[in-house]
Amino acid sequence: MAVLKLEKDDEQQEIKFELDYLASLTTRQRFKMMLKKSREMLLLLKQNGHRKSTQVIKRT
């Protein structure tokens, strides 16, 4: 994986670098990366108390 090093922030150059990198990947690689990131986000949500199942509360 390539790494972009800039002396000062340049958003346009960062975006171009990211798009060039993504364009260089195959569809399979992009989907694999997307699924990996999705699993990471799900794990973070679970660790922080989100994604708990709903509870049924009986009213009396």
pLDDT in tens, 1-53: 667 788 888 899 999 998 999 999 999 999 999 999 999 998 998 888 776 66
14 Cβ neighbours under 8 A, 6+ residues apart: 4, 6
Model pTM above 0.85: no
Q: Where are the domains of the chain?
A: 11-47
- Given this model, what pLDDT does residue 34 score? 95
pLDDT of 41:
92
Q: In degrees, to the nearest 5, what angle opens at C-alpha 30 toward C-alphas 28 and 32?
A: 65
Q: Encoding tokens for residue 19?
A: 């798009």
- Among candidate residues 1, 39, 35, 32, the one with its CA nearest the CA of residue 18: 1
What is the pLDDT, as a whole number, of residue 52?
A: 66
User: Quick check: 54 pLDDT over 80?
Assistant: no
Task: Report d(CA 4, CA 6) in Å as an integer.
Answer: 7
